Amino acid sequence: MQRIVYLERESIVADVRRPAFPHVWIEHAMTRQSEVRERLNGATIAIVNKLCIDAGLIAGLPALQMIAVAATGTNNVDLDACRERGIVVSNIAGYAEQTVPEHVFALLLALARNLPAYGKAVGSGAWQRSTQFCFFAYPIRDLHGATLTVIGKGCLGSGVARLAEAFGMRVLFSERKRADGVRAGYTPFAEALRVADVVSLHCPLTSETRNLIGEAELRAMRRSAWLINTARGGLVDEAALVCALREGWIAGAGFDVLTVEPPPDEHPLLAPELLALPNFLLTPHVAWASRPAMQRLADQLTANLEAFARGVPQNRVA
């Protein structure tokens, strides 16, 4: 009988159907990293979201047969160690293909139309004191005709591209940063950054993509360009981004992710002067979190467990 331990049940708001095979189900609302080993002792299946499952933990869990990641990203799991042990790792694919692109455009439209600045102007009484019917103190830009560079051509990047085309934007898919060649349908990385009015990140966080966007890349972008990151915080050098926003290397940024989550109060991107900027928007890792998307995640999570029990794992990454 499988012993399933769900370590972070409160990380999704959805109905999680129990799998249709004999099992013992143990769930914890949340788990501290220091509690992982004890709580997974004797588990054959672990369900995790963001907790780190490294080689040391894996070595101390001889009963473990499967890690079901209740998310798409798997950078928190040592996949090589799992492969060496024969532990199956499955993630969730495609569940957020509508909600994340919509969040990207929520951020982008707010930046393009200067919604934070106009909202504050109304709150401060500036419109009420206007001498005419409108108050247009802040520039507004259209997305139609603008160039969007998408980094990452999976379901989320492709979903963003489809919405962009509906807005009349020109869409480029960037080739990998250090690629030896350029695949058909892709644009060289440096050129894709240089010509973009908007850069949107949709690639996984790996050793190759960590700090993918740093000072050199931010300086190479147009001063009128926006950077959108709904993927992983570690894709962008946050210290360089702070400088870019303060010194005007780019027009602005919309972020849903940080390198440390939840962030400490002293995180550089939480500085009051940055959060007060109308051209920097930060949301708390919720681009994926519409209720329909979370239910699709939960349904697929159970399906992954059942596929593993049948001996035909799906969405397998290790």
Mean pLDDT across the chain:
96
Give the chain's domain count. Answer: 2
The pLDDT tens digits of the residues spanning 82-140 come to 999 999 999 999 999 999 999 999 999 999 999 999 999 999 999 999 999 999 899 99
CA Rg value for the chain: 22
Whether residue 58 sits in one domain with residue 39: yes
Give yes or no: residues 110 and 214 share one domain: yes
Alpha carbon separation from 150 to 10, 67, 232, 238, 304 (Å, rounded): 32, 30, 14, 20, 29
Bridge pairing between strands 88-90 and 66-69: parallel
Confidence band, pLDDT 50/70/90 cuts, at residue 3: very high
Which residue in the list 103, 176, 202, 285 is annotated as catalytic?
285
Query: Residue 8 — pLDDT band, cuts 50, 70, 90?
Result: very high
Inside any domain, residue 39: yes
What single letter denotes the amino acid at residue 284? P
The answer to whether 103 is a known catalytic residue is no
Same domain, yes or no: 180 and 49:
no
Looking at residue 93, its amino acid is A
User: Residue 40 sits in which domain range?
Assistant: 2-93+292-309
**Secondary structure (H, E, C), the chain:** CEEEEECCHHHCCCCCCCCCCCEEEEECCCCCHHHHHHHHCCCCEEEECCCCECHHHHHCCCCCCEEEECCCCCCCECHHHHHHHCCEEECCCCCCCCHHHHHHHHHHHHHHCCHHHHHHHHHHCCCCCCCCCCCCCCCCCCCCCCEEEEECCCHHHHHHHHHHHHCCCEEEEECCCCCCCCCCCCECHHHHHHHCCEEEECCCCCCCCCCCECHHHHHHCCCCCEEEECCCHHHECHHHHHHHHHHCCCCEEEECCCCCCCCCCCCHHHCHHHHCCCCEEECCCCCCCCHHHHHHHHHHHHHHHHHHHCCCCCCECC
What does the pLDDT look like over 166-205, one tens digit per residue?
999 999 999 999 999 999 999 999 999 999 999 999 999 9
Residues 62 and 110 in one domain: no
Pick the catalytic residue: 176, 232, 238, 296?
232
* 315 part of a folded domain: no
Q: Do the domain assignments include residue 55?
A: yes
Q: Are residues 267 and 230 in the same domain?
A: yes
Rounded average pLDDT over 158-166: 98
Q: Tell me, what's the pLDDT at 16?
A: 97
Catalytic-residue membership of 247: no
Q: Is residue 141 part of a domain?
A: yes
Position 289 scores a pLDDT of: 95
Q: What is the CATH number of the domain that holds 296?
A: 3.40.50.720
Please identify which of the residues 261, 273, 291, 310 carries the catalytic annotation.
261
Cβ neighbours for 301, distance < 8 A, ≥ 6 positions apart: 16, 47, 68, 70, 92
